[in-house]
Structure formats: C-alpha cells, structure tokens
Amino acid sequence: MVRKLVQLHSHGTVGRVNRVPLRSIRTERFADILGHYAQFCFRHGYAASTRRNLREHGVRFFMFLESRCLLDTSEMSSHTIVDYVNSLSVYSYHSVGLSLTGLRSLLAFLHTNGYHHLDLSEAVPHQQARSGSTVPSTWSHEDVLTLLHALDRGNPCGKRDYAILLLVTRLGLRAVDVRNLKLESLKWSTNRIEFVQSKTSQSVYLPLLKDVGWAIIDYLEHARPKSDSSFVFLRHTAPYQSLGEGNCFYHIISRCLKIAGMTASLDQKLGMHSLRHTLASTLLAKHAPLSTIAGMLGHASVESTAVYLKTELNALRACALQSPGGTA
C-alpha cells in the first residue's frame, strides 16, 4: 500500500505491481487500436506468448493514458512517454526491460499505421543490459529422481505427465515445444525427435532416448484419449484437444513436490525451465562442449548457454586466482 501511495504521489497514477488479470480498457478507440495491433503481431508471425505479453503491455499503457485523460493517441507527446516510463519504477529490473520493449514496439506500430505523426518509440530509453546477472536455479540429481518417482504412472494423467517431465529433464525441451509437439515429430525409425522451436524458429534434432521413447509409447498406447488431434499431449477432459497456450506445466511440479514432501527455498525458481537449467549444468559438469549443449537446448547463440557456467561451482573454483596474500 505504501508503494502505491508513493507511486500515486510521484507519477499521478498507480500501476499494477503483481501479474494479475488486467481489466479492459474503457476507451473504444484504444480497444480498436489494440485489436489492429494484435492482428499486426499475428501476421508477422509473433509467437503466441509474445503476442499475449505485447497485448498486456499495450493494455497497461492505454490504461495509463486514460488515467491522464488522454483519450486519443494523437494527444501523446514525448513527455507522456517519459511519465509512463517513470511510472514503471515499482517493477523489477527484468519487468521494466520487458515493458520498455513492449512500449517501443507499440509506439512504432502507432506511427507506422498513422495513429501518431511522430515515432515516439525513439523517446523510450534503452535499459542497460544485465544479461546473466543471476545464477539459474537447478535441481540435484536425487531431487530430479524424487520428482519423477512421485508421479502416479498407474493413471492416464500420470503417464502423460511422466513423459512430459522426461522430455524436459532428459532432452531439455521448453514447455512451449512440449505443448506443440506433433505425432509426426516422433521419428521412430531413426529414434529421433524433430521439430521447429517456437522461440527461435530453428529446426532441432534430438535423440529419442530409450526411457523417453518408452514413456511416450506407454502414454500413446494406454493413456492418450482417442482423438484425431496431431498433437502428442492432450487434455484428459472433453473436448480432447491440445494443451492450453499458457500451460507451463508448473502444476505437475507443484503436485509432485507436495506428494514427495519436498520444499524449496524462497530464492529458488522450480518451474519447468529450472529442469532445463539442471540438464545444461549436468552436461557441463560432464565436460560437454558449450556448442553441444547449445545445440541440444536449441540456443541460437553459445552466449545464451554460457550462463550455466555459474552453476558449475567446481569449474569456477578451478578458475579462481590466488591473491598476493595467498588466499583465493
């Protein structure tokens, strides 16, 4: 509450600090513009998650304009942009960076499509990059096994969730690629999985490991609902269709943690992405080249993979320099 009062006093409006559903904007013109913007993003092939995030940033910006009684985009000025950027001060560094990117995209769209005579995206400041400033959360080998054993593989949902977890823990797939995995991606004759990544649009070819393959077969033969859908993993309640776009499978991990009686510290982020981090760190500890790890995880650049060096403490200790006093 105090933070909100400070924000109201400093910026004349109160932003939403938590990721909660945003209310609809009131101005019909803003709603129409947002609809055109969504179509623009779709036509240009933006991923569903990207379109969803850009819309959220757009709604937040238009709500800010409404709070300032600006009901037409032509009334905006560079001062408006500065005031909005200042109002983002209550958000985390990472959230501010995403908001600035979203704002820059929206303002460029407004100018290109005649909603404003100036390209106000140039007034949006650039945030200094702090890439890789945090250490990725990882699991121990024992905790990963405990997580997998907590699943009840005697029921259909358990078989599905077990196969999903193996795809992430053994092959490092992103949640979005697990959701979008098609039956045609399973190349049984060559024991490979082939698909195009949603994030990078790059083709990925991974070995269909024995345990992963048998888990998928068990699901397909004994648990998957009868459906003409081309997706591997489906909802287990009617209608039997592909899993929702926003499904990041955290409910699977949360349920397993509860069953296994496992707890996490406050600074640990134990979502599906942390299992990708764990795989990368494990491969690194076994001296796999960064280029190999990058190819397996589908990173567009080895620099994206280098962040996992921070989790390999033994390797970091080996790089420590001796100080003049004789201590590391």
Read out DSSP for 187-237? ETTTTEEEEE-TTT--EEEEE--HHHHHHHHHHHHHTSPP---SBSSB-SS
Q: What is the pLDDT of residue 18?
A: 42
321 has pLDDT over 50: no
3-state secondary structure of 315: helix
> In sequence order, what are the beta bridge partners of 195?
204
Instruction: With respect to residue 252, please indicate whether it lies within any of the assigned structural domains.
Output: yes
93-118 confidence digits (pLDDT tens): 878 888 999 999 999 999 999 999 99
- Check whether residue 268 and residue 214 sit in a common domain: yes
Specify the amino acid at residue 233: F
Instruction: With respect to residue 12, please indicate whether it lies within any of the assigned structural domains.
Output: yes
More confidently predicted of 122 and 295? 122
CA gap 238, 47 in Å, rounded: 26
- Check whether residue 147 and residue 262 sit in a common domain: yes
Catalytic residues: 174, 199, 273, 276, 299, 308
- Check whether residue 77 and residue 172 sit in a common domain: no
- Check whether residue 111 and residue 146 sit in a common domain: no
- Check whether residue 147 and residue 31 sit in a common domain: no
301 has pLDDT over 50: yes
Q: Which of 230, 250, 272 is the last residue of a domain?
A: 272
Instruction: With respect to residue 197, please indicate whether it lies within any of the assigned structural domains.
Output: yes
CATH code, domain carrying 155: 1.10.443.10
Determine contact, residues 181/233, Cβ cutoff 8 Å. Answer: yes
Confidence of residue 327 (pLDDT cuts 50, 70, 90): very low
- Check whether residue 154 and residue 250 sit in a common domain: yes
- Check whether residue 191 and residue 152 sit in a common domain: yes
Q: pTM (2 decimals)?
A: 0.62
The token pair at 287 is 């001296």
Q: What is the pLDDT of residue 19?
A: 43
220 has pLDDT over 90: yes
- Check whether residue 113 and residue 174 sit in a common domain: no
Weakest mean pLDDT among 170-174, 184-188, 203-207, 243-247? 243-247
Instruction: With respect to residue 327, please indicate whether it lies within any of the assigned structural domains.
Output: no
What is the domain range of residue 66? 2-123
User: 78-87 and 93-112 are packed helices; what angle lies between their axes, rounded to 10 degrees?
Assistant: 160
149-165 confidence digits (pLDDT tens): 999 999 999 999 999 99
Determine contact, residues 297/206, Cβ cutoff 8 Å. Answer: no
- Check whether residue 174 and residue 262 sit in a common domain: yes
Read out DSSP for 89-101? GGS-HHHHHHHHH
Weakest mean pLDDT among 144-158, 235-249, 254-268, 307-321? 307-321
- Check whether residue 92 and residue 152 sit in a common domain: no
Instruction: With respect to residue 319, please indicate whether it lies within any of the assigned structural domains.
Output: no
Instruction: With respect to residue 316, please indicate whether it lies within any of the assigned structural domains.
Output: no
Instruction: With respect to residue 103, please indicate whether it lies within any of the assigned structural domains.
Output: yes
Q: What is the pLDDT of residue 2?
A: 52
Confidence of residue 229 (pLDDT cuts 50, 70, 90): very high
Q: How many other C-beta atoms are found inside a 10 Å radius of the C-beta of residue 68?
A: 15
- Check whether residue 173 and residue 69 sit in a common domain: no
Instruction: With respect to residue 227, please indicate whether it lies within any of the assigned structural domains.
Output: yes
Phi, psi angles (nearest 5°) of residue 164: -65, -45
Weakest mean pLDDT among 7-21, 97-111, 139-153, 279-293? 7-21
Report how far apart, in Å, the C-alpha atoms of 150 and of each of 167, 217, 255 are.
16, 20, 9
CA gap 281, 288 in Å, rounded: 10
3-state secondary structure of 249: coil
What's the mean pLDDT when you consider all of the chain?
81
Q: Which of 272, 291, 308 is the last residue of a domain?
A: 272
What is the tally of structural domains in the chain? 2
269-279 confidence digits (pLDDT tens): 677 888 887 88
Specify the amino acid at residue 275: L
Specify the amino acid at residue 79: H
- Check whether residue 145 and residue 251 sit in a common domain: yes
Q: What is the pLDDT of residue 76?
A: 94
